[in-house]
Amino acid sequence: MRLEDIEAIKQLKYSYFRLLDLKRFSELGELLSEDCTASYGDGSAELVGRTAIVKFLDESLSNKAVVSMHHGHHPEITFNSDTTADGVWYLQYRVIVPGFDLEVSGSAYYRDSYEKVEGNWVITHTGYDRVFEERRKHSSHAITSFSSRFEPGAS
């Protein structure tokens, strides 16, 4: 049974990333528990509840002039019980804003919690800690800024 649950959790997170990049935030919300919490931007955006998370994503990312790619891989899934689990995912992302000649890319670690409700896994918490981020001119790929959690003073 554990292998089936691991696969179901993988499919859940893969759907999260797909729906995020396709800007289908209402459908993404269906993957979250009603009382789900989220911590985006290394904790700069702390959200409570499915409605608040979907609203935040819609307000932040719905602009069709902004395109994104989120790849989550190398899942580490740990079961706390038959109906709860935690997961760590390595994230690679790229965001392109041609109108501002901007490209942002980087990596982070997502830390999620899951619960099995009526036979289906849902996300009860999601959030990430950034490893690095670089900003470039989209037209030339020249780096305009770089930050890393390993820089002095970084958390």
52 part of a folded domain: yes
Q: State phi, psi for 60 to the nearest 5 degrees.
A: -85, -35
Task: Indicate the SS3 state at residue 57.
Answer: helix
128 part of a folded domain: yes
Domain holding 9: CATH number? 3.10.450.50
Q: Which domain holds residue 42?
A: 2-148
Q: Where are the alpha helices (DSSP H) in 30-154?
A: 50-61
110 part of a folded domain: yes
The pLDDT tens digits of the residues spanning 14-43 come to 999 999 999 999 999 999 999 999 999 877
The pLDDT tens digits of the residues spanning 109-140 come to 999 999 999 999 999 999 999 999 999 999 99
The pLDDT tens digits of the residues spanning 41-97 come to 877 889 999 999 999 999 999 999 999 999 999 999 999 999 999 999 999 999 999
User: Distance between CA atoms of 152 and 155, rounded to whole angstroms?
Assistant: 9
Residue with token string 């999601």? 126
Residue 1: the pLDDT is 63
154 part of a folded domain: no
153 part of a folded domain: no
User: Within a 10 A sphere around the Cβ of 114, how many other Cβ atoms?
Assistant: 25
User: Distance between CA atoms of 12 and 39, rounded to whole angstroms?
Assistant: 18
24 part of a folded domain: yes
Residue 45: the pLDDT is 87
What's the mean pLDDT in 139-153? 93
Domain count along the chain: 1
Give the torsion sign (CA, 77, 119, 8, 130): negative
User: Distance between CA atoms of 100 and 5, rounded to whole angstroms?
Assistant: 43
Residue 153: the pLDDT is 72
CA distances, 113 to each of 33, 76, 84, 99 (Å): 10, 12, 7, 36
